[in-house]
Amino acid sequence: MPAAARPAWRRAVAARLRMRSSDRGDIAIPNLLALPVRYPALVLAAAQLGLHIWCNGHYGVFRDELYFIACGWRPDWGYVDQPPLMPLIAASSWHIFTGSLRGLRVVPALAGAATVALTVRAAGELGGGLYARWLAGLCVMAAGVLQVFSVLLVTDTLQPLLWTALTLALMPALSGRNGWWWGVGALAGLAFLTKYMVLFQVASLGLGILAMPQRRVLGTHGPWLAALLALAIAAPNLAWQAAHGFPFLELGANAMAGKNIVLSPPAFLREQVLSLNPVTAPVWAAGLIALLTQRAFAGLRWIALGWVALMAMMLMIHAKPYYPAACYPMLMAAGAVALEAWLRPRPLRAAVVGTVIVGGVGLAPLFLPVLPVERFIAYQHALGLEPSTGENRALGTLPQYYADMFGWHALAAKVAQAYAALPAQERAQAVFFAGNYGEAAAVEVLDAGTVPVISAHNNYFLWGPGRYDGSVVLLLARPDRVPIGKFDSCSPVGITNAAYAMPDETGKLLLVCRNRHRLPPVSWPALKHYD
């Protein structure tokens, strides 16, 4: 692009930070290595993809992945707790790759690699040279929670990629290149169909723009066309939510009312630092500082103000610490550019990159299933770290995103065995009544539909009681919570005993209960729980 055609903010950054082509390499490179070193986006994205193709098949399938497959088997424009796109991807991946765990997680691996490449590109767009681009990409690879999103097929999988792309599209759009507003609208609508959290990104960036001179753009047609396009893409899901009484709002209210841990602002910021890996904090913090204070970045200050607004919103809704993680690749790109300008001595630059690499490799087992689980537990203990979660929920020896990969195959096998052992006449009426969507989806997906499954949790509630008449019910219960009095009889036929599963998913009795006293459909609405 000719210099005169570049947006004003980009010309200012390039001039202010003196990013001349002559000093972008900044390191003497042997000829043999020169070519790959000059393409950090390609090299780092390939490394990220290879790492995840290898490690994503370890441990087991995650509870939400099972649930998404079950939802995707019933395609719809929405679900109680999520938009439609990720369930569709999950069910398609499970079918295409015939139940392969690595196959199920191909999309997360590809999305993670694309996020690394796009962050490298973002550093270049901000005026960064070769050092800044390498540092930005390495920070994303070291950022623990972003790596978890590249392992699991969950609603957060595509968020870092889409949020970064949306912010990058806003930059030329706000500089007067009106064609980019179509991209802004399309990306916002697509992100909405993967997770509703993008509403907070759009709102926070909007507040940042309102606080800056760029608010003048609201007097043009571009932003409103983008909003209409995003609304058109989101409309089928919004119609579904409206038709079902906006269950996602009820779900969110329940989370705020006690499910999620309430964190103070310092504690929430601390969790951001820990979840993103402390070695990346100086980089994204430098990005915030540069965007807020440096004249060269004045045209992009709305990004940093958007981060401030986003943190305030997250505190207001009692968000889990990982909810805003998708906004950080852009801050890492800005921080890498700033540090490239501020740290002129080569040994200091090398120390920063080395710290990110060593810290990323050292803490990788905390976020990537690269170690056998016994060795992981020992490693975690040696580091003096304890697993944590953003919910008021007991934890065992593993963090929740690992623990919820264990126990599901054993549960499905136990329920299938108990169902097969029933007399044929009872089997014709029997169902497995799961207490939550994880148990329900594990039996439905891993048992390949042999056992009829129902639940009153989240979208399973909307799918209804099916043929359930209360005559023969398989269910799980704590030994001290056997539903005596609700059935004529309840007989234990097994017990869950997955050593590494979440504590509330092990040590439960598998019961065969007969003749429920209060029969559906009268009792079904009272059983609903959205959480």
Tell which wins on pLDDT, 517 or 79. 79
What domain count does the chain have?
2
Q: d(Cα 442, Cα 169) in Å, to the nearest integer?
A: 40
pLDDT digits (tens, 9 = 90+) for 84-121: 999 999 999 999 999 999 999 999 999 999 999 999 99
- Same-domain pairing of 362 and 412: no
d(CA 504, CA 329): 35
The pLDDT tens digits for 137-149 are 999 999 999 999 9
User: For 67-81, 380-394, 514-528, which range has the lowest pLDDT when averaged over its residues?
Assistant: 380-394
Please check whether residues 114 and 175 belong to one and the same domain.
yes
User: Do residues 227 and 268 lie in contact, with contact meaning Cβ atoms separated by under 8 Å?
Assistant: no
Statement to judge: residues 361 and 510 lie in one domain:
no
Greater confidence (12 vs 207) lies with 207
> What integer pLDDT is reported at residue 19 of this predicted model?
43
Residue 213 and residue 361 share a domain = yes
> Per the structure block, which two tokens stand in for 72?
């995707």
Q: What is the pLDDT of residue 36?
A: 78
Give the β-pairing of 487-495 and 509-516.
antiparallel
Note whether residue 30 is domain-resident.
no
What's residue 20's pLDDT?
36
- Tokens 């999305």 correspond to what residue? 111
319 lies in the same domain as 463 = no
Residue 311 shares a structural domain with residue 415: no
* CA–CA distances in Å: residue 267 to residues 142, 187, 273, 274, 311: 22, 32, 10, 10, 12
Please tell me the distance from the alpha carbon of residue 383 to that of residue 392, in angstroms, as a whole number. 24
Last residue of a domain, one of 366, 394, 428: 366
User: What SS3 state is found at 456?
Assistant: coil
Task: Indicate whether 230 pLDDT > 60.
Answer: yes
**417 shares a domain with 358:** no
- Residue 127 Rama label (left phi>0; alpha psi -120 to 50; beta): left
Where does residue 114 rank: exposed (0-12), middle (13-18), buried (19+ CB within 10 A)? buried
On average, the pLDDT of the chain sits at 90
Give the number of other CB atoms < 10 A from CB of residue 228. 13
Q: What is the reported pLDDT for 11?
A: 56
Local confidence band at 24 (pLDDT 50, 70, 90 cut-offs): very low
**pTM for the complete prediction?**
0.91
Predicted local distance difference test score (pLDDT) of residue 22: 37
In a domain, 381, yes or no: no
Looking at the structure, do residues 331 and 423 belong to the same domain, yes or no? Answer: no
User: Same domain, yes or no, for 477 and 344?
Assistant: no
In-domain check, residue 518: yes
pLDDT, residue 520, reads: 62
For residue 511, which of 450, 395, 422 has the smallest C-alpha distance?
422
Q: Are residues 356 and 421 in the same domain?
A: no
Question: Is residue 10 in some structural domain?
Answer: yes
* φ, ψ of residue 80 in degrees (nearest 5): -55, -40
308 within a domain of the structure (yes/no):
yes
Does residue 282 sit in the same domain as residue 421?
A: no
The pLDDT of 465-478, averaged and rounded, is 89
Write out pLDDT tens, residues 175-215.
989 899 999 999 999 999 999 999 999 999 999 999 999 99
Report helix, strand or coil for 494. Answer: strand
| Per-residue confidence (pLDDT) for residue 33, from 0 to 100 | 63
For residue 472, list its beta bridge partners: 514
Question: Is the residue at 358 inside a domain?
Answer: yes
Residues 72 and 182 in one domain: yes
Residue after which a domain boundary falls, among 341, 366, 391: 366
Residues 41-45, mean pLDDT to the nearest whole number: 96
Write out pLDDT tens, residues 446-460. 987 789 999 999 999
pLDDT digit string, tens, across residues 275-298: 999 999 999 999 999 999 999 899
Range of the domain at 448: 408-527
- Of the pLDDT bands very low, low, confident and very high (cuts 50, 70, 90), residue 469 is confident
pLDDT of 228 higher than 70 = yes
Phi/psi of residue 475, nearest 5 degrees? -150, 165
% the chain with pLDDT above 90:
75
Q: Is the pLDDT of residue 162 over 90?
A: yes
Domain membership flag for residue 402: no
pLDDT of residue 464: 93
Strand partners, 475: 433, 511
Distance CA 257, CA 472 (A): 35
Tell me: the pLDDT tens digits for 341-368? 999 899 999 999 999 999 999 999 999 9
The answer to the question of residue 197 being in a domain is yes
Angle at 401 between CA 398 and CA 407, to 5 degrees: 70
